[in-house]
A and B are shown apart, each in its own frame.
Chain A
């Protein structure tokens, strides 16, 4: 029994010694110091990186600003065209109707309704050709297409509130830039994880 107790005490002593040895070895495993001046080297590198990032962001804002100005110019051009062309289109549309209506009334009196449209059509075609001949040749290429309903609404809004339209264009550009930055950050975060 005494032998067993001695053996047990010896085993505990060896176990404690082994634990001590393991602790010492693990502490040594982690004991390491960087070369002198690590903080200064890191800060110098960060400063250089910061300048690079600032340059890149400046270029990005220049591109975004140019795009915003381009959008504003296009919006202003769209608002200018309908104001010049709208008046010219109206008379040809109204004139044949008026002529057609008058002739139709005359026709109704005479009892010849369907036939009265043809003289109206001829006169409207004649009027349109005349109008076209009177219009100056526009130095625009490609030939302007008729505006869609949405484009007309946008053009009228820009014409009526140019400053607000420019502000909206700028805000939208900034929002797009923020979304782009968030996507970049999300990609970076995924790479960190």
Chain B
């Protein structure tokens, strides 16, 4: 290989590298625009804090930037991203020192339950109590049941995607979610009966 052809090869390689780099940036931007909301919701489902969820979202995409070369070979970017977001959120929760915010008390949450004029006030209050209780009940579930249940509440995640995110089988996801719901139903039934007896 003479000097001239070596120079040409070198320039071609540099052009290819630059094209790949620009392509990666565009891919990451598309990934952000399409999946930032999902990543945020996954993080919030674990961390239960808007501030922490946004930090976790930022960290997730920073990791995607660092592993940008792997992105081209990923078949399912959404699930791949969900897995990273999940791991980031779990790691953050381990280091969390302050108490989790309760969703209803979070004033930053723009999505609040609209008070319907048709819904009786006591019914609204009861639903709020159930939601508040549910936070504690879900947190008290065993980890193996809690994690699939939490992800199953996200409408964007199918059982297959949950299975890939958690690294378990799809059948395991379904059975664990079913088991978790059974436990929650039982506890809610007990709470409902207790509140009725207290009300009487």
Contacts and interface: CB of A to CB of B under 8 A. Distances in A.
Interface of A: 15, 18-19, 21-22, 24-35, 38-39, 41-43, 45-46, 49-50, 53, 185, 188-189, 192-193
Contacts of B131: 25, 28-29
A192 B87 contact: yes
B58 interface: yes
B54 A49 contact: no
Given A30-B155, A34-B57, 11 more contacts: A22-B134, A26-B153, A28-B113, A30-B150, A32-B53, A34-B50, A34-B54, A42-B58, A53-B66, A188-B66, A192-B88
A49 B58 CA distance: 11
Contact of A25 (B36, B134, B150): B134
Contacts of A189: 67
26 contacts: A18-B185, A19-B185, A22-B181, A24-B127, A25-B134, A27-B153, A28-B103, A29-B45, A29-B135, A29-B138, A29-B153, A30-B153, A32-B103, A32-B109, A33-B111, A34-B37, A34-B40, A34-B50, A35-B50, A38-B57, A42-B36, A42-B58, A42-B61, A46-B65, A50-B65, A188-B67
A192 B66 CA distance: 12
Contacts of A34: 36-37, 40, 50, 53-54, 57
B107 interface: no
Given A30-B41, A31-B111, A33-B111, A39 B32 contact: yes
Contacts of A27: 153
B134 A42 contact: no
Nearest to B108: A35
A141 to B, nearest CB: 37
Interface of B: 25, 28-29, 32-33, 36-37, 40-41, 44-45, 50, 53-54, 57-58, 61-63, 65-67, 84, 87-88, 103, 108-111, 113, 127, 130-131, 134-135, 138, 149-150, 153-155, 181, 184-185, 188-189, 192
B153 A18 contact: no
A42 B184 contact: no
Contact of A38 (B37, B62, B84): B37
B62 to A, nearest CB: 5
B130 A25 contact: yes
A26 to B, nearest CB: 5
A46 B135 contact: no
A19 B134 CA distance: 13
A185 B68 CA distance: 11
A22 B188 CA distance: 8
Contacts of B32: 39, 42-43, 46
B54 A50 contact: no
B105 to A, nearest CB: 13
Given A27-B153, A193-B87, A21 B188 contact: yes
Contacts of B33: 39
A188 B50 CA distance: 26
Contacts of B62: 45-46, 49
B1 to A, nearest CB: 10
B157 to A, nearest CB: 10
A22 B185 contact: yes
B177 to A, nearest CB: 10
B57 A42 contact: yes
B128 to A, nearest CB: 9
Contacts of B58: 41-42, 45
Nearest to A45: B58
B12 to A, nearest CB: 17
B84 A192 contact: yes
Contacts of B84: 192
